[in-house]
Structure 1
Amino acid sequence: MPQLLIELFSEEIPARMQAQAARDLDRMARERLAAAGLEPSSLRTFAGPRRLTLVAEGLAAAQADRREERKGPRTSAPEAALEGFLRSTGLTRDQLVERDGVWFAELTATGRATPEVIAEIVPDIIRNFPWPKSMTWGTGTLRWVRPLRHVLCLFAGAPVSFEVDGVQTVDFAVGHRFMGSNRPFRVKSFASYRSGLEKRFVLLDAEERKLRILVEARHLCADRGLELVEDAGLLDEVAGLAEWPVPILGDMDPDYLALPPEVIRTSMRNHQKYFAVRDPATGRLAPHFVTVSNIAAPDGGAVIAAGNAKVLSARLSDARFFWDEDRKVTLESRLEKLKSVTFHARLGTLAERVERLEHLAGALSVRVGADPAKAALAARLCKADLTTGMVGEFPELQGLMGGYYALEEKLTPVTAEAIRDHYRPVGPSDEVPDRPVTMAVALAEKLDTLAAFFAINEKPTGSRDPYALRRAALGVIRILLNSEVRAPVRELVADWYRSLRCFVDPGRALYASTRRTTGYLGPRSRRDSEIFQTYVEEFEAALLEAEPMVVAI
């Protein structure tokens, strides 16, 4: 059966948008074809730096003829009702059929040719495509992620003609911007389209591009006795940056290896899109990197590697500056700055939150078998690294850098580990803290997040969870399930509430009841016990609705 081929060719599409764009194209095409009565036997979409492609197999050459019987008014109904029914059907009274005292209209519609339907569907998809960000260009009004240059649309090997705000349909495609000379070639089918692109240095399938990057990068490293540090997220991104990916192994200044390895990898990954390389003999990072070029350079990439090494050196010089400067100030002395950082408008500053964490970690340490003094110290210092230059440059290193700075200050490894891991687990595949002090601080961090935001009625809903409360609840679940600790929600909330009362004054206490939207609860309020009981019940009910497993623990 006939094949439908569509290519939406534009300027460079951001790599982070490509995978979702392919899914959106698949969904929109299926919905519109189904609504038109055209069901493909198979449909695939592809996304790359400059093109979105769809190929659908098994489409009928035309819509099937449709026959519909529509029930009308009774034969005894007023004349006005019959006239309205005739107008809605476009028939005359002589064309109606009477059965059992009721008028029926028999409607038939001849199916249109599939190219006619496609000429309506594709422009509709283009005009309504849900890009996260889009733009207009020239004098047109069409919005697209980047300027849309042309639309290839073929059905059964023949062009389908239409226009979308001045963008014309064509029957050709173009290859790589540089290596393929950007010259067009005629397309008759998906097979000729795909092979033609590959001959012109364009790999259509993102999975093929990722496989090519991995295989060649591993070979480059193996030839030098090295090992690639694989990163699935980075691989997805670089596969969206190059139509013809060519991995290149570069060298970096070995002096930068004195930095924490996470700093080096984060700088490589976030700023330069490089893969790190390790020495398999030691398991440590090696003074090399792998970058992915979009061209096969005549010199094997030597000039590209040298240029990328210079840029990386500049980035790592900044990181070394932050590392050296941050270590001149102790974590304890940084706590004063937290007083000027707002955690939430209704929950106070980060300094106030740290007070809650310190008291709560001390209370929870009894439950997990931790030293209360060590747990309280780690909780007091766990947010101090938020004021460092390194975390300001690399926010994803918060907690981790605090652990490094704690070791530099000769604090105990137990304290440093608790500071480093108090955010964990941050996802389903992340490690779960299993040491008592770290468990106490991690539980305190998550419990304070849950209880405080529930207290001000910022609960997660089915469509939004801006404060990641479900993730915090799941973190509590995983920490408790991973250990022999059992702590009912009612008791955990009581720990949080008691720790809150240890230091707040009536003028700045948190809301203690989700029912109260005005007024504060002071530590010595006459209604203290009543409001706390109500709060715990509402918190438990809301949490049960959001994450049923929490209450069961």
Structure 2
Amino acid sequence: MADFLLELLTEEIPARMQPEAAVQLGERFRTLLDKAGLQAEAVETYVTPRRLALLARGLPPASAPVVEERRGPRADAPDAAIAGFLKSTGLARDQLEERETDRGRFLFATLRREGEPTAALLAERLPALLAGFAWPKAMRFEPTGFRWVRPLRGIVALLDGEVVPFAVAGVASGRETMGHRVMGGGTALRIDSPRTHAAQLEAAFVLLDAEARKARIREGARKAAAAAGLALVEDEGLVAENAGLAEWPVPLLGRFDPAFLAVPPELLVLTMKVNQKYFACVDARGQLAPAFVCIANLEAPDGGRAIVAGNERVLAARLADARFFWEQDVKVPLDAQAAKLSGILFHEKLGTMAEKVERVARLARWLVETHPGQFPGATPGLVERAARLAKADLVTGTVGEFPELQGVIGAHIADAQGEPAEVVAALRQHYAPVPEGSVPVAVALADRVDTLLAFFSVSLIPSGSKDPFALRRAALASLDIIIGHSLRMDILKVFEFHFLNVISTIATQAARQSDLFSNLKILEENLPDWSRNSSYRDAIEALGLTSIYFEYNVDATQQLLTFLAERLKVRERDAGVRHDLIDAVFALGHEDDLVRLLARVRALQAFVETKEGENLLAGFRRAANILKAEEKKDGPHDGPVAPALLVEPAERALDTALEGAQAAVRAAVNAEDFTAAMQTLAALRPFVDRFFDTVTVNADDPGLRRNRLALLAKLRATAALVADFSKVEG
């Protein structure tokens, strides 16, 4: 068995492209082996800023022999036909086998093709592997038309100690590569064999393994910070990026003017990270320190002093730019910044960002006014103020330069301008997955609900894999907030209230485009008076604003509720909650409190997964199936049960049990004691079993039959107080 090494020496490969390139090389090489009839014990890939490498261990000396069976003409075919078959196979007549088949007696040839040497197969197929390599961006090299990420400088191709000869774009394979660009001595490095490759490169100051480079960066950066009495701000993404920039990483500590610490720390950290790929440091109190760790790509004779000095100068200029943006932004009142949002379009059908802010402010205020117990300590005035300022920093120079700091910069400006602490917290957490604190929660939830309902109202709903407005993410974020903070509210009523705000904006946009400002004024004056149960279409058409002028979706609230239910299934799947049970509770049509719904679902799951629950579920299903079949014939059987027609002891016992169970289940559900509700249903099992064992539902007497079907409908209705058991699988 042999080992094979392929190293492609290039100019610098962008760090972001390196991991995928290594994966692709491995996949393409495995495909090559498969098609060539070869197998390797292991295939490993490596990537550095200047090289892409592959090591295949345990390759056979040649491909496996191929045995092929080919059917020829019939045994009694004319001589010419048999001669043609012999010529195509290269065999003699006595080497053929006669064999009986269901179509008669035929001639068969067994052809054996010996395997080809592995070196020859690799030499033949590797050029195509490289020519078909896909880079996100690539350079084209004439006259061959070969495409590669950067100029290809050399190819090492060794099978054990022997060169596998081939050429790509005028570059011939061999055994020579280069070590470190500076420390490697500038002379060619002759690789002895695949097994010595990594060690020889390391001796030439190249760490081939990216994980080894990451470990060197991680540990060296921590030590550099600790030597100065500081701690590193850990950042694995930055570790990986630096590993893609240096073949011999050397962490060095630098410092910057402490005066820059007057700038928000997040801005300083992001400037160091994004612009310079530096790690930030904090002091013993966890406060940002005027120091950083940079990653050099060599061990300098002066210990890195000149490198550090150069990096300090570059960083000083970057931090000065960041400070300029901050100082300009903090001078402008956030209210003035928010006013500029009227010049930013949120969506062509949904108005400007300023109109979105207005909608969010109305909804956030309404949430707190109508659900004060769910947002303790929050006042309508605070949440409205926070909502009106939450997106003001989108127009600042700082966020324009660093979009990642949206919300954070607004919070710092709000704090500097004397806004209440609750407002500052709401701005800081506006884009957080699950904010903390009543004011931040109310504003963040209002923002996400507005986004969802607005796009659903104009029928811009995700389909398949397409979700251009990230509505699935907004839905999951809404669920995380509602369930994470146990917010008790009828989510459908929230949607219905906010729908009025949304269609007002839709009408505004349409009116702008149609010059219907007089009708728009009437619409805005009348919107607050519309009943939640009125027909939106009739009301709008009565005002003269028909769908000719704007699009809206009066079913948006129900569609959005269904969409949330689907997202809830996704969210709870990892927690082991069954999707069919969520359907079973949603199907009731009146459970719009998502916290209560989830509690009901979990109690239902605990019940149906017990033996008792499985048996009772079978009884409910049997009743439902009988009713379904009979109701197809003569309609619903939901009428009252006539006690006088309960002639069998088992049906009288079941009716009595159901009377008590209905009252007990209603009381338990109202008290949100769903476990007790399930236990009450479980207690019905012996009565249900006895009924089906001893009572004939489809009795000959029509009156008895109808009454027994009504009793089964009563059983179905009792179960439906908890869930629609027809939706439960299994």
TM-score range, shorter chain: 0.7 to 0.9
Aligned pair 1:290/2:311, yes or no? no
Displacement after TM superposition at 1:48 (Å): 0.7
Summarize deviations over 1:453-506 as a string: whole Å, max 9, x none.
344444445545443333222222222232111456544533431332455536
Matches within 5 A, 1:393-472: 393-425=401-433, 432-460=434-462, 463-472=465-474
- Note the C-alpha offset of 1:536: 3.3
Residue in 1 that maps onto 2:194 = 190
Go from structure 1 to structure 2 and tell me whether the alpha carbon gap of 1:248 and 1:453 turns closer, same or farther (over 3 Å shift). same
Task: Please give the alpha-carbon distance, in whole angstroms, between the structure 2 residues aligned to 1:62 and 1:535.
Answer: 65
Q: Which residue of 2 aligns with 1:159?
A: 163
* Structure of greater Rg: 2
Q: CA RMSD of the aligned region, Å? A: 3.3
1:318, distance to aligned residue in structure 2 (A): 1.0
Instruction: Give the match's secondary structure for 1:204.
Output: coil
1:539 aligns with 2:551: no
Normalized against structure 1, the TM-score is what? 0.88
Question: Per-residue deviation at 1:309?
Answer: 0.9
Deviates more, 1:527-536 or 1:14-23: 527-536
Corresponding residue of 1:128: 132
Q: Secondary structure at the match of 2:59?
A: coil
Kindly provide the CA deviation profile for residues 124-174 of structure 1, in whole angstroms up to 9, marking residues without a partner as x.
221122211111245441111111112211112211111122121111221
Per-residue deviation, 1:331: 1.2
1:200 and 2:204 aligned: yes
* CA shift in 2, pair 1:44/1:289, >3 Å: same
- Partner of 1:297, secondary structure, is coil
Alignment check: 8 A CA contact 2:89 2:111 kept? no
Q: Deviations over 1:434-460 (max 9, x none)?
A: 212111111122223333334444444
CA contact (8 A) 1:148 1:167 kept: yes
* Distance change in 2, residues 1:291/1:109 (3 Å): same
Whether the aligned pair in 2 keeps the contact of 1:40 and 1:57 (CA below 8 Å) is yes
- Determine the structure 1 residue equivalent to 2:325: 322
For residue 176 of structure 1, what is the aligned residue in structure 2? 180
User: In the alignment, what sits opposite 2:342?
Assistant: 339
Q: In the alignment, what sits opposite 2:670?
A: none
Distance in 1 (CA, whole Å) between partners of 2:553 and 2:148 is 53
The answer (yes or no) to whether the contact 2:135–2:148 under 8 Å persists in 1 is yes
Q: CA deviation at 1:329?
A: 1.1
SS in 2 for 1:263: helix
- For the residues of structure 1 that align with 2:97 and 2:342, how far apart are their CA atoms? 81
Write out per-residue CA displacement over residues 332-367 of structure 1, whole angstroms, 9 at most, x where no aligned residue.
112232122122334332122222222222233344
Q: 1:361 aligns to what SS in structure 2?
A: helix
Counterpart secondary structure, 2:40: coil
The one-letter amino acid paired with 2:100 is R
Q: What corresponds to 1:497 in structure 2?
A: 499
Q: Give the structure, 1 or 2, with the largest relative contact order (CA under 8 Å, sep 6 or more).
A: 1
- 8 Å CA contact 1:363–1:499 kept in 2: the answer is no
Between the aligned partners of 2:344 and 2:174, the Cα distance in structure 1 is: 56
Task: Give, as a single letter, the amino acid of the residue that structure 2 aligns with 1:99.
Answer: E
The percentage of aligned residue pairs carrying the same residue is 43
Measured against aligned partners, the alpha-carbon deviations of 1:371-430 in whole angstroms (never above 9, x if no partner) come to 3322222111111101111111111101110111111111111011111111111xxxxx
Match for 1:496: what amino acid?
H
Residue 249 of structure 1 pairs with residue 253 of structure 2: yes
Say if 2:15 and 2:241, in contact at 8 Å, map to a contact too.
yes
In structure 1, distance between residues paired with 2:356 and 2:77: 74
Q: Which residue of structure 2 lines up, in the alignment, with residue 99 of structure 1?
A: 100
Normalised TM-score (structure 2):
0.67
Pairwise CA distance, 1:93: 11
Unaligned runs of 5+ in 2: 513-522, 528-535, 542-546, 572-578, 583-593, 595-730
Displacement after TM superposition at 1:532 (Å) = 5.1
What is the correspondence of 1:214-293 to structure 2 with a 5 Å cutoff?
214-280=218-284, 282-293=285-296
Q: Is the 8 A contact 1:157 1:189 kept in 2?
A: yes
Offset at residue 549 of structure 1 (A): 4.2
Most deviating of 30-39 and 526-535 = 526-535
**1:361 paired residue among 347, 360, 364:** 364
Residue of 526, 538, 551 corresponding to 1:526: 538
Structure whose residues are more often helix by fraction: 2
CA distance in 1, matches of 2:222, 2:216: 10
**Residues 209 and 549 (structure 1), Cα distance of their counterparts in 2 relative to 1, 3 Å cut:** closer
Worse-matched range after superposition: 487-496 or 17-26? 487-496
Unaligned runs of 5+ in 1: 426-431, 511-520
Opposite residue 452 of structure 1, the aligned amino acid is A
Partner Cα separation in structure 2 for residue 170 and residue 265 of structure 1: 46
**Cα shift at 1:197:** 0.6
1:4 is matched by which residue type in structure 2? F
Aligned to 1:14: 14
Out of 569, 586, 590, which is 1:548 matched to?
Answer: 569
Cα distance in 2 between the residues matched to 1:91 and 1:130:
42
**2:65 and 2:112 in contact (8 A); partners too:** yes
SS at match of 1:300: coil
In structure 1, distance between residues paired with 2:461 and 2:88:
51
> Does the aligned pair in 2 maintain the 1:434–1:479 contact within 8 Å?
no
| Aligned match of 2:25 | 25
Name the SS for the 1:136 alignment partner. strand
- The verdict on how the C-alpha distance between 1:122 and 1:469 changes in structure 2, with shifts beyond 3 A counting, is farther
Measure, in 2, the Cα distance between the counterparts of 1:93 and 1:541.
73
Q: Quickly say closer, same or farther: Cα 1:545–1:71, change in 2 above 3 A.
A: farther
